[in-house]
Structure 1
Amino acid sequence: MLRSAVLLIFVVIGLGIVVRAADSTPTEAEYKSAWHKLTVPGTWDDQSNGVLAKFDGIAWYRAEAKIPAEWQSTQVTLGTEQIDNAHEAYFNGVKLGGAGAFPPKYESGLKELKKYVVPSEHIRYGEPNVIAIRVYDHDGKGGFKGAAPSVSAGGQTIRMEGKWNFRLGDDPVFAARVDDKNATKLPSDPASFSKILASPHSAPAGKAPTDYTPIVPPNEALKTFTVPDDLKLELVLAEPHVKQPLHMTWDERGRLWVVQYLQYPYPAGLKMVSKDVFWRAVYDKVPPPPPQGEPGLDKITIHEDTDGDGNLDKHSTFLDGLNIATSLALDRDGVWVMNPPYLLYYADKNHDDVPDGDPEVHLQGFGLEDTHSVANSLRWGPDGWLYGCQGSTTSSAVLRPGLDKLPVHSMGQLIWRYHPATRRFEIYSEGGGNSFGCEIDAEGRVFSGHNGGDTRGFHYVQGGYYQKGFNKHGPLSNPYANGYFNAMGHANVPRFTHNFVIDAGAALPEPHRGHLFGVEPLQGRVVEAELSNDRSSFKTKDLGYSITSTDPRFRPVEIKAGPDGAIYVADMYEPQIAHRQHFQGLIDKDNGRIYRLSAKNSARSKQVDLGKKSTAELVEHLQQPNKWQRQSALRLISQRRDRTVLPLLKKNIESSTGLFALECLWATYQLGGLDDAFAQKCLAHKEPLVREWTVRFAADLPLDLAAAANATGRAVPGPREVQDAHLTGHRFAETRTSIPLARKLVDVAKSETYVRVRSQLASTAKRLPADQALPLIDALITHNEDADDLHIPLLLWWALESKATKSSAAIIGLYKKPEVWKRTLVEKHLALRTMQRFAQSGTRNDLLIGAELLANAPTIEHKQELLKGFEAAFKGRPLSGLPDELVKAITEAGGGSLALRVRQKDAAAIVEALKLAAVEPASSPDPKQKAAAEEAKTRRIELVQTLGEVQPSGSVNVLVAIAKSSADNDVRAAALTALLGFKDEVIGSEVLTVFSSLHDDVQSVALTLLTSRAAWATQLLEAIDAGALKPDVLPLDVVRKLTFLKGDKLAALVKKHWPKLEGASTAEMQELIARFASVAKSEGGEPFEGKKIFMQSCGKCHLLFGEGGRIGPDLTAFKRNDVNHILTNVINPSAEIREGFEAIVVITTDGRTITGFRADQDARVLVVRGIDGQNISINRDDIEETVPLKKSLMPEGLLNNLTDEQVRNLFTYLRVGQPLNSQ
């Protein structure tokens, strides 16, 4: 027998058939004449043994995917990415779209990631469907350079990874299904895919494509790494003992605890109802806490070095069956577990590493929309609070079970904390990147990384607001923040370091100590950066890379300093680290590694069991150079509650400086030993860190409450603390300190030389009540040197603003001091923002405060600065409706606009206003003119509204003309509202001549006008009686309003056309609720389509994520995931009317009837906002009677004209957690 590696080709000349050995490579001509098999992903250059290395042109890929019958009710999509160079995608012969462009107008689409919606009418459910990709290669390698195409629906994915049919050339039939006519041109052995690799009901199988990202075995892995010459890298843990490692911590015995994130990316037991382009999902329900519900795959494991050789040789599982568990923190007799939506506590009182039973739920309501952004990174702070992060693409409504009726709402990235002893939860600091990593340095400062570029992360100060992706992740919780902090300064660098550790140990050589070590999962490396002071904050500078690897699967996601002072890095070991690909099934759940980075010549030392040390010995341990050793000793001191060491701790504080004094202060506070008298001593300490932290402790919790709670470890809040602890609108609970301590804080503020102490004083001022905060702010603003600090100016503003709602008089008291206006912080930062905040609010009381500010400003320069703040607040808002006092103050300050001069009844201004209001501006298609046109429109509306308020002679004719003929609906609506104050009977008849031609929104305003006076209402009903208008033009709520008007003819017409004014019965409403609930809860809703429906209906009255009307309640913080509750409010709106939105009818002395709710009021004026969104100001002297209505202003039947698909889309949108800013 002849054996040879040479391919043998037998040519049967008589038949003209070429028979080729099975393992041979076709020629280019054969690739053009017939179909062959190539692997996807991959390029044809790499799979043709060089035959197609120079081929540039058009080729086709083709395969079949069997679409499950269960997908019929869900939108199906086809995803593609990084196809070189341009492509078109076809489904059963129908073109879905493409990336780039084919010749002759070639454009590359290589970098595009596409998601094509497949029309349901072209899908054959339960059968194979043809997916064809037409590819044009311009130069270089052609084919699939990214992941394989995938077909997805409802969270399930068919990943088409493997052999595809491939052919060179171009023929439209290559996209078609096989039939008798085209069979000869299509593959006889079609490539086929049907396996579902991901599912929202259980974790996806997640097998990585090893053919193009080979797995390096653990014992070979270290060969792929490079570290600096003075460091060494060791593998300490790998599969099968650890997979998907997400979080690490160590107990006092030095044992490593690992959270293995095996359930990611889909929560177990949930069905995905929808997801948006950012992969934010809406699920069908909230999972119960474990062990209830379907168990997940996540687990917490313990790994121990039993013989001190550095190898973790003993492995056990503390807990499994968890469902999206992200982190843990160790307590004396149990373990805290972050398992969104819950913070859980598992007791283990006998310390046998087995939970004693089911967990206790301490917090609930953390968001689950995006499992790479859920609450994470649980850890103890030096103050005895548990700290954690929340990522950018989740939102939360956190409750303390058994204590709270209303949750704390948040959107997007933040740092939160929880105090177990008092059960206080609060937002520590808001904003940032996709916060997934919480670092607390040796001085107790809080940091987190960033998923963007050009920085290494954020330095979080207490009460701070930080930059975020506002369009994508929602606004800051405080609408009056009027500023935010940026990330730490850094040179331009690619994204990202989401997690880092700041070294404070002794295991690394001196050149590396104190540096920031950050993981870069996209690049597969660990960066080392210098952290240096930048005023009261920090900046960073890269020094190099501590770990790099040639293995593309190295994906470091977690980094910590260990008991030995070394740096530990957890590696998920993935082909790529991208949430989108993970959701599509491209995830490897079989691997994971943990590495140790230490000094090259460091010796291995056996960990001392800190749990065996006495408390006094642990106090001495607080002097250790290793940060982990100090933090662990502090944790044990706190959790033991051994108060016998308090004298020793206090002695150490008084006799020491530096970190030892600070550690002893932390321990004293956590043992309940920081009483009022000792706190005052510490405020005079020579160590600035001691002063800084004492300032913080003064308002973190009332010192007596903190002492009692920390001493016993039990929740001991009184009634006030229970009520107030769950936050005011400013995300914290105000804390009143003692009078002597408050005075001492003010003394410190006046003379403090250390900038970070002053920064903490500003944060603390925000947490104090106004009578204690204002003197502290007054002292801090004397430091002109802080005007250019990165944090202090805004911290002072936020402290001042937090008192604006309840203590505005105290703020005005501050500005009545002439010397305050001379301070640089006030001139550059505070005065303008103070005026802006009160003007933004827009209530009469706050606008009158603005008038007082202008009156108190000592110079024209100060007044002009205040006017800048006022103008910033009113940009795009009309100036009509301002109190006379404010109008006068603005005019005297030199800021009198035309509308304000009209308010002053200036004759020349009135003539000019009538002339300008009557002019209809010419439209321009030039987009550059758009901003100017919008500004002109705002000013015109302002003049129209002002004419309605002042009512000068000649106004009626001008306003009626505008109402009848303006091309702008907003201007028309303003004119109709302005006419409410006039009595002329001709107004009604004139408006009726154009009523039928008005836009729906304008018709609503016209009805408010026509039904406000008996004469006009009679004219309206006469038109209905004559057949000029149909009766259904009047909603039932408007007809009910007519019953308050006087007139026999009017009453007769109402009775004739509406003999019954009752709405639907309760039984009918319950039936509607049940029917719509079934539709709303079904799968397949499209949130972007739902948003359009919302804006066309609900959004006319309600705000959601800052968009919509301001008539009804803002729905952003509403419990929108409760479909039945929403439906009850929509279908039977009068069943439960939100406080503050009760409807009233105001009957005036001149015969008007105005319906709406109280939008604002003071002793002189009542402002009523109607269902048309217009505000109507009524002098109280003109009010004859105010009658409360039992019916809601919200009409019934809002869903009746929507299709099931529209209802499904609407409720899908209502349940999303964050803004939808693009599709």
Structure 2
Amino acid sequence: MRSLCLSLLTGLILLQNAVADEKTTDALSSFQVKPGFRIELVASEPLLRDPVALAFDENGRMFVVEYPEYNQQFAKDKQPVTGSIRMLEDTDDDGRYDKSTVYVSDLAAPSAVACYNGGLFVAAAPDLLFCKDTNGDGKADTREVVFTGLRRLENRTDPSLNTLLWGLDNRFHACTSYSGAEVRAVKHPDERPRSIGNRGFLFDPRTLRFDLTSGGGQHGLAIDDWGQEFLCNNSSPVKMLMYDDRYLARNPYLKAPAPAVEITEGGKHTQLFRISPEEYWRQERTRLRNEGKFRGSNEGGKSSGFFTAATGVTIYRGDAWPAEYRGSVFVGEPANNLVFRGKLEPKGVGLVAKRADAGREFLASTDTSFRPVQFANGPDGNLYVIDMNRDLIEGAMFLPPELLKKVNVTGGDRRGRIYRIVRDDFQQPKLPRLGEATTAELVKLLAHRNGWHRDTAARLLYERQDRSAVPALKRLAAEAEYPVTRMTALHVLDGLDALDEASLLRALKDNEPQVRVHALRLAEARVKTSTALRDRLLAMGDDPSLRVRYQLAFSLGELVSSPERNQVFAELTVRDGSDQWMELALLSSLAKGAGSVFEALARQKDYRQWKQGARFLIALARQTGAAGQQQETEAVLKSLLAWSDTERQQQEAALLALLAAQPEKTRRAFLTSHQQTLKPILGRILEESRAEALNTKLPLKQRLTAIERLGFAPFREVQEVFSELLEPQQVNPVQVSAMLTLSDFQDEQIAKLLISRWAKMTPALRTKAAEVLLSRAAWSGALIDAIEAGTIGRGDLSPARVELLKQHPDKTLASRVSKLYADRALARRDEVVQQYQESLKRNGAVPQGKAVFKKVCSACHRLEGVGTAVGADLKAIRDRGKAGVLLHILDPNREVKPQYMSYTLVLESGQVLSGMIANESVNSITVRKPDGTETTVLRINIEEIRSSGLSFMPEGLEKQIDKAAMADLLSYLMSLQAGQETSR
């Protein structure tokens, strides 16, 4: 009997192996890979399913994130599934994983994993967890929430936190996608939650504190050997982070462009060489877009062959491939079943990613289920490809409803493969078990050519905090042949709190520019206490490397303003200031001293008459004005007054930049104290501006510039001009510009002027005028007076504006509005929704529905060329279905997305801004107001910011839309035709 059982067992094993071999052959035969390489299957179902990320621990075990929930919310028969982390082991060292254990189970939407201290950090919104197996059974028995507050977007498939990577700075780095969440460190309850909207996330695994840095990616983060970071979005294959926004944080007066810049030569429209057949639904979706029946760009009528699902950007850092491949950037394009390779080349202070494989892709498959979503550099020096192997990789929300019914959105949810790409002559090496390595052995591994070995050794040294490593690390930093090793050793020393001045001074003179770059960064925390380091930085202004000078421009900001420092800034500006990123770096370091640098540069007549020089001087003047430091401001003014008449245009531009950036009260005081000095220049400017603003024969742009300049005059001197500019005969842009300029004044006569013109204004202009009046409490009171008196109709204020006014910071004003609009008391939402259910059963008329939209909704939404794009984009609203749309209209506060929540900002000047937060950075916030305009303000000028907790869309629209009109509106919204949206 025992012999029979053994025979049956042996037969079963042989059968399983035969099936696996057949499956492997079928899968591998579908691929075309770059000549000189081959692709190997190292793990597949049933060992794993739905893989989206992986990490290797120090002993070569592979931990795989499984995400079976993907698209499950759109399935016809929704299943209660959760994700997990699988531990895969290669028990016979042949390179193929043959043992699988569920290490962590029951995870909600897991998206990333990283190994640390014998356990795992796991991203699973809303938490980042630390899980560890403490009893050796292969399953995590501890599960601790480390950070919480991450958010998973409704109906979206993009994880809010993904791609956890170890960085040179002894921190884990992550991409935050579109989370916009308020995250807090659980171990530090005294620290306030912090918004991670559009920013990167990094944390110290020892202290469990986190920091924010530059970001702006969707799914994927790459770090190269030198610590440069790259991101990607669906339609943006390779984005390079140009700066760390901690440099912006130290200069609150600086507004900056987004740090993530697309560097792929062709961007989204890079030609892709797909070899798989196009899916039927993909062709149909393109046809519907071409015919204007579904949202999204039709991409010139093509349904594939371009980036629409770029993901998993990764830099190859291994040692098993030919040397020319090291540093290549790889991007998965799962919608096209291929892997793109780019070659990174220098371009200014940045890089450009050029197609590396002419006329083909590095890897492509004929199998439409091949979905390369992520990559990893392996211990063996090869690149690993994570294939989710789904029938549908697109978020189901991006398919037209009529096609969605025909697609199995979760097809393949029990499949999953992990491949590795190897050289044709690759032979499996015996991999080291770094967990058993001594500290001395770990230090030696920093010289390894495989980035995985260096990263893992550096992480383990940071975990152990064994200071016996210090002498050997110092020798490596000074003498290692491999430049990356010298640089890495510096960071490891820093992680052990053992980085000394001598090592830094030596590194600042290293013959490899990138080592000097990192030495500059590491010196920043020490220059204020080290004269030697300070002097060395001041001597590096003539460094031959542009990349070093770029970093120097940032790092010098850590020095106290001094003539020596400012002279180096001036030299860098003359040499490199025409580069926009160098200009940003210089300005970031000049929270103090901008005026002095302006003075030094302005002495050079050739420089100030050079186009790029004049531009930088204007930027310096603007920053000096914003900082409001009297000595610096006086320095700029003194320099300007010395310029000749031939430089009148540059002089005026710089002076106006200085004045415009000053806080309002500061500017008025400055103009008063320098009235006689500035009279010749300002008098000339204002006289010309009065004439140009009213001259209808001049180009519109010239008139608008003139109107803006009138804001520097006392209001009493230009009141008549503005009165004429608000006459109905003036074109709309002129009237709007006049109103915006008036909002910068404080004079009470402005409210009287706008209210006196109200009857002559169009509805659109009344919306603009209302925004001006509501920007100051005194003017708001005058507006409410006019409404109470009947001079202005109550209906002239939109419901959204009324609701915001009810929460105005001025409680007296808020109370008056509440009483004035008391008859708009809102019924219970559930009752209203129930009353309007009959609208769902009626067949509404589309033309009438469009008219309802124009009358009621167009103040905040834009469709088919009608309305103002303030609130949510409605082009895809039919995907919600009629019932969902009705619920959203009648009960907008039932579920409010953070990006559509209303906020009120009170500025130091007394102005009040209300609207949605359209964008934010470390230094500034952009508010989108009800009239559709956007205003960006520096955080330093914000006195108070608070959320209403309510949707920007008001409740109570049933007061304006009866049940028949609602049926018409729903019919119109359900008939919506194409919009412009890029999606998977």
- Name the TM-score class by shorter chain: 0.5 to 0.7
Structure 1 residue 252: deviation in Å? 1.2
Q: Which whole-Å deviations, capped at 9, do the CAs of 1:833-888 have from their partners, x for residues lacking one?
A: 4524764998694999778536425755877556567789999x9x9997697799
In structure 1, the partner of 2:553 is 762
In structure 2, what is the Cα distance between the partners aligned to 1:1102 and 1:844? 34
CA contact (8 A) 1:745 1:776 kept: no
Distance 1:1002 1:848, change over 3 A: farther
CA contact (8 A) 1:255 1:303 kept: yes
CA contact (8 A) 1:800 1:811 kept: no
Distance 1:515 1:900, change over 3 A: same
CA contact (8 A) 1:652 1:661 kept: yes
In structure 2, what is the Cα distance between the partners aligned to 1:478 and 1:423? 31
Distance 1:829 1:327, change over 3 A: farther
Structure 1 residue 632: deviation in Å? 1.5
Q: When the two structures are superposed, what TM-score results if normalisation uses the length of structure 2? A: 0.65
Stretches of structure 2 lacking an aligned partner (at least 5 in a row): 1-20, 273-305, 803-811, 841-849, 874-890, 913-928, 934-942, 967-978
Correspondence for 2:519 among 677, 688, 694 = 694
Structure 1 residue 998: deviation in Å? 12
In structure 2, the partner of 1:651 is 475
Alignment of 1:724-739 (within 5 A): 737-739=528-530
CA contact (8 A) 1:234 1:595 kept: yes
Q: Secondary structure at the match of 1:565?
A: coil
CA contact (8 A) 1:502 1:515 kept: yes
Q: Secondary structure at the match of 1:1203?
A: helix
Alignment of 1:561-576 (within 5 A): 561-576=377-392
Does residue 935 of the first structure (1) align with residue 701 of the second (2)?
A: yes
CA contact (8 A) 1:519 1:558 kept: yes
In structure 1, what is the Cα distance between the partners aligned to 2:314 and 2:762? 68
In structure 1, the partner of 2:16 is none
CA contact (8 A) 2:43 2:97 kept: yes
Does residue 436 of the first structure (1) align with residue 219 of the second (2)?
A: yes
Q: Secondary structure at the match of 1:951?
A: helix
Distance 1:1008 1:510, change over 3 A: closer
In structure 1, the partner of 2:32 is 226
Q: Secondary structure at the match of 1:254?
A: coil
Alignment of 1:525-544 (within 5 A): 525-539=338-352, 540-543=354-357
Does residue 771 of the first structure (1) align with residue 566 of the second (2)?
A: no
Amino acid across the alignment from 1:487 = E
In structure 1, what is the Cα distance between the partners aligned to 2:600 and 2:716? 36
Correspondence for 1:660 among 473, 485, 492 = 485
Structure 1 residue 740: deviation in Å? 2.5
Does residue 672 of the first structure (1) align with residue 497 of the second (2)?
A: yes
Correspondence for 1:321 among 65, 81, 106 = 106
In structure 1, what is the Cα distance between the partners aligned to 2:147 and 2:44? 33
Identity of aligned residues (%): 22
Correspondence for 1:331 among 116, 124, 140 = 116
Distance 1:254 1:1001, change over 3 A: closer
Does residue 371 of the first structure (1) align with residue 157 of the second (2)?
A: yes
Does residue 388 of the first structure (1) align with residue 139 of the second (2)?
A: no
Structure 1 residue 773: deviation in Å? 9.7
Structure 1 residue 1171: deviation in Å? 13
Distance 1:237 1:884, change over 3 A: same
Amino acid across the alignment from 1:670 = G
Select the structure with the greater relative contact order (CA < 8 A; seq sep ≥ 6): 2
In structure 2, the partner of 1:505 is 318
Structure 1 residue 245: deviation in Å? 1.4
In structure 2, what is the Cα distance between the partners aligned to 1:666 and 1:443? 11
Distance 1:1139 1:510, change over 3 A: closer
CA contact (8 A) 1:448 1:458 kept: yes
In structure 2, what is the Cα distance between the partners aligned to 1:517 and 1:676? 38
In structure 2, what is the Cα distance between the partners aligned to 1:893 and 1:758? 38
In structure 1, the partner of 2:393 is 577
Correspondence for 2:456 among 619, 627, 632 = 632
Amino acid across the alignment from 2:337 = G
Structure 1 residue 564: deviation in Å? 1.1
Q: When the two structures are superposed, what TM-score results if normalisation uses the length of structure 1? A: 0.54
Alignment of 1:1150-1161 (within 5 A): none
Q: Which whole-Å deviations, capped at 9, do the CAs of 1:1091-1121 have from their partners, x for residues lacking one?
A: 845489xxx9999899xxxxxxxxxxxxxx9
Alignment of 1:799-818 (within 5 A): 799-802=585-588, 807-808=591-592, 810-818=593-601
In structure 1, what is the Cα distance between the partners aligned to 2:259 and 2:420? 37
Structure 1 residue 248: deviation in Å? 1.7
What is the aligned residue count?
801
CA contact (8 A) 2:625 2:657 kept: no
In structure 2, the partner of 1:14 is none
Amino acid across the alignment from 1:502 = I
Does residue 460 of the first structure (1) align with residue 241 of the second (2)?
A: yes
Q: Which whole-Å deviations, capped at 9, do the CAs of 1:999-1032 have from their partners, x for residues lacking one?
A: 75588699999x999xx99xx99x999x999999
Q: Secondary structure at the match of 2:220?
A: coil
In structure 2, the partner of 1:481 is 256
Q: Which whole-Å deviations, capped at 9, do the CAs of 1:119-174 have from their partners, x for residues lacking one?
A: xxxxxxxxxxxxxxxxxxxxxxxxxxxxxxxxxxxxxxxxxxxxxxxxxxxxxxxx
Distance 1:576 1:266, change over 3 A: closer
In structure 1, the partner of 2:64 is 258
Distance 1:542 1:1205, change over 3 A: farther
CA contact (8 A) 1:820 1:826 kept: no
Distance 1:652 1:448, change over 3 A: same
Does residue 605 of the first structure (1) align with residue 448 of the second (2)?
A: no
In structure 1, what is the Cα distance between the partners aligned to 2:24 and 2:824? 62
In structure 1, what is the Cα distance between the partners aligned to 2:605 and 2:24? 67
Structure 1 residue 304: deviation in Å? 0.7
CA contact (8 A) 1:524 1:553 kept: yes
Structure ID, larger Rg: 1
Distance 1:459 1:779, change over 3 A: same
Amino acid across the alignment from 1:668 = L
In structure 2, what is the Cα distance between the partners aligned to 1:604 and 1:1001? 70
Structure 1 residue 427: deviation in Å? 3.8
Structure 1 stretch 661-670 or stretch 814-823: which is displaced more?
A: 814-823
CA contact (8 A) 1:259 1:327 kept: yes
Q: Secondary structure at the match of 2:84?
A: strand
**Alignment RMSD (CA, Å):** 6.3
Q: Secondary structure at the match of 1:259?
A: strand
Structure 1 residue 640: deviation in Å? 1.4
In structure 2, what is the Cα distance between the partners aligned to 1:251 and 1:998? 61
Amino acid across the alignment from 1:525 = L
Distance 1:219 1:893, change over 3 A: farther
In structure 1, what is the Cα distance between the partners aligned to 2:86 and 2:518? 35
Amino acid across the alignment from 2:496 = L
Structure 1 stretch 621-630 or stretch 589-598: which is displaced more?
A: 621-630
Amino acid across the alignment from 1:588 = G
In structure 2, what is the Cα distance between the partners aligned to 1:216 and 1:232? 18
CA contact (8 A) 1:762 1:777 kept: no
In structure 2, the partner of 1:359 is 144
Q: Which whole-Å deviations, capped at 9, do the CAs of 1:35-81 have from their partners, x for residues lacking one?
A: xxxxxxxxxxxxxxxxxxxxxxxxxxxxxxxxxxxxxxxxxxxxxxx
In structure 1, the partner of 2:89 is 304
Structure 1 residue 334: deviation in Å? 2.3
In structure 2, the partner of 1:205 is none
Structure 1 residue 605: deviation in Å? 2.5
In structure 1, the partner of 2:370 is 554
Q: Secondary structure at the match of 2:65?
A: strand
Correspondence for 1:682 among 493, 507, 515 = 507
Q: Secondary structure at the match of 2:568?
A: helix
Alignment of 1:133-148 (within 5 A): none
Of Structure 1 and Structure 2, the greater helix share is in 2
Distance 1:966 1:538, change over 3 A: closer
